[in-house]
A and B are shown apart, each in its own frame.
Chain A
Amino acid sequence: MGVISAVGNSVAENHKSLVEGLCGIRNEFDLFPTKYAELLPFGQVRISTADLLKKLHVTDPGVTRTSLLALHALNEMLQDAGLSPAALSSSETALAGASTVGGMCLTDELYADANKKTDGSPYTSSYDCASVNMYLQKHYKMNGIINTINTACSSSANSIMYGAMLMKNGFAKRAIVGGVDSLAKYTINGFNALHILSSEKCTPFDEDRKGLNLGEGAAFLLLEKEEDIAGKKVYAELTGFCNANDAYHPSSLSDEGDGPFLSMQGALKQAGLSAGQVSFINAHGTGTENNDEVESKAMLRLFEKVPAFASTKAYTGHTLGAAGAVEAVYSILSLIHQEVYPTLRFKKAIPSTGLVPVGSYKKMPVQHVMSNSFGFGGNCSSLIFSKV
């Protein structure tokens, strides 16, 4: 596994922050000029783009912050897995990534290029979502299936599913799966226009929640088949996954949460688990009025007794297309260390649901973790990771 987020540049740093309850959301935004730097808190990764270029020894022109964050997380994952260059470039190794922003983090350059105000910046082939995995493919000379998925905020949950399906169906022997997004003036203004950004640090599942905070990050995981894992370090098993659609509204969830209900139910079914066997739910929990109430209702519909649940977006902010992968790493950390991380700053339950998330760090037996990711366009996905 490899991860970079506002709470750390490595798996170990992220783990330490989760255990110690250290929030990465701050009012110190300095990636690019925006009037919201003063007004809103963000989950910014604590390393500048210039330092990322230096640290990763990248000298090619046209490489965006999004691609650099992805490379940073991928490098950590490769080192952790000890994957040889030959295995990495094998035609049997797939790369299933995800991004919603791609190179659009360069909002001002994109504006100039799209409106013919330049003779062409170095980024003309770097704006799309695919640019990240095109870069990783080239960097590591990969020859397997390469893909990028964009289902908004559930993107990297779907790239994890896609990688698993490629292996199951014989299109790959192993799959590198994950996702990335970096902070962009584009998404900041987009979410602001929808009036779902909180001017304070977000408080998922709290009655007085005021919206989400945008974050950035990247995470990659290596999936291998059960028959290929002998003698290797194994963190967890991906036992269930499901993608369903809410088919209700382009940017909000239906009152009863049909999409979230169906994705959670489908993942349980695929894992062959009953609702009562889920130890912990890593909730989507963005901190918006709509998401947290609907997600709670869907959990109440599916679970006779709602398991322990929490949202790590109170640490990292919402990392959009990276969230599914970043939180897959966190879910797996819960399985490895038999512990769960609290929803920071939670005070009062939502009256209509009465659900109280985990409020403090605790050790507990964790056998199966369900991780939810829901996105615009009604795109809902749930994954289940199990202890090995």
Chain B
Amino acid sequence: MLYIHQAYCISPQKTFQDVDLQELHEPAEKRLLAIEPLYDGIPPGVLRRMGRAVRMGAGASMPIIKNTAELDGIIIGTGKGGMEDCIKFLNQIVQYEEGLLAPGNFVQSTSNAVAAQVGMMSKNRSYNTTHVHRGHAFENALIDAVMQLNEFPGSNYLLGGVDEISDFDYNIENLDGAYKQESISSKDLYQTDTPGSIAGEGAAMFLVNDQAENAIACINAVNMLHSQDLAQLEKLLQQFISTHIPAGEKIDLFLSGESGDNRTLKFYTACESLLPVNTPVARFKHLSGEYATASSFAVWLACYIMQQQKVPGNMMNGPVEVLAPKTILLYNNYKGLQHSFILIRKN
């Protein structure tokens, strides 16, 4: 469907410049905060005005903008966009009793601010859109890119997913039951039998097109479902495998979005039990934390694994070794309701 030629990621781990996934960065105050780079190439005046999501999104896009002669569009998925600016503006409304307010936070708070900023930085006047359907925001962005490439063969798109943690959003999500009440080390995430996960954030940006040559990886299929029904999910996975993975081809790695939340574990367990025996399973939420577009981090990770041809040890669940991974099946679940499967193959 589409080929990934460049992949950049700002995350709570060392994923941006010198990638090192051996040394684990731990949560602080129950949050896995992104390690932000110095953002070379973004003028300081512009950088200062950016909210965190915009900064991470623009920062992870910069290398792609620099490396690519011409982009034919910018397609971003984000669950919340600039929530911090949003509440900052809201707090101003209350604090100044709807007086004369500075509009900066308001403008930065709209979900399309990342795509808009990247568009302005790259002077890109072509297709520009922002998908915000919570746990399916990145998946819809991915499908959008596939469709744009069908429509305009030979084009290059910047595709990405980005979300930030702010104190405000943390408070709301925490009230909603999204996060664990106890402080834990990220390596213990999967051992806890409690509701909620660790809050996470990050930006993953990709240059995608329809050219197989020199690609890092290929995304062959995406499928989504809204459901709380285990049987419906199982049926979808069976269909997905029979449609997209020919008999005889091995799933070299099942990349699981297991989040340490005991309310959603059953979905991951059910999927794993439908896979061929001895399918290796790796998990990633101890690296990224949980957020609406964490699947974009997982796609970056799949690209990294394809390039390295090995899986960082701290990700493996179980003794099965992964040898020369070529086919990776990603399953992610957001809040027990939004499911997605993404099939990634080495080119």
- A interface vs B, CB < 8 Å? 34-36, 100, 104, 107, 110-111, 113-116, 118-121, 124-125, 127-130, 133-134, 137-138, 142-143, 145-152, 158, 162, 165-166, 168-169, 171, 185-186, 189-190, 192-194, 243-251, 258-259, 262, 375-379
Contact = CB atoms under 8 A, between A and B. Distances in A.
Nearest to A242: B127
B270 interface: no
A185 B107 CA distance: 15
Contacts of B266: none
B91 interface: yes
Contact of A35 (B97, B125, B130, B146): B97
B229 to A, nearest CB: 10
A245 B128 CA distance: 6
A34 B98 contact: yes
Please list the 7 inter-chain residue pairs (A to B) with the smallest Cβ-Cβ separation, ordered nearest first.
A377-B116, A190-B106, A120-B175, A193-B103, A124-B176, A130-B134, A114-B168
B119 interface: yes
Contact of B226 (A137, A149, A151): A137
Contacts of A169: 146-147, 150
Given A143-B225, A244-B128, A189 B134 contact: no
Contact of A379 (B98, B116, B144): B116
A147 B171 CA distance: 26
Contacts of B106: 189-190, 193-194
Given A115-B168, A128-B80, A259-B125, A146 B144 contact: no
Given A107-B93, A148-B137, A165-B147, 8 more contacts: A146-B226, A162-B144, A165-B144, A169-B147, A193-B101, A247-B124, A258-B125, A378-B116
A59 to B, nearest CB: 19
Contacts of A110: 87, 90, 172
Contacts of A151: 112, 115, 128-130
A152 B126 CA distance: 17
Nearest to A145: B224
Interface residues on chain B, size class: 35 or more
Contacts of A111: 87, 90-91, 93-94
A379 B73 CA distance: 12
Contacts of A248: 120
Interface string B107-123: 11111110111011011
Contacts of A375: 112
B325 interface: no
Nearest to B166: A114
A379 B112 contact: yes
12 contacts: A111-B93, A111-B94, A128-B80, A134-B226, A165-B148, A165-B151, A169-B146, A186-B86, A186-B93, A250-B120, A251-B103, A377-B119
Nearest to B173: A124
Interface in B274-305: none
B42 to A, nearest CB: 15
Contacts of A192: 98, 101
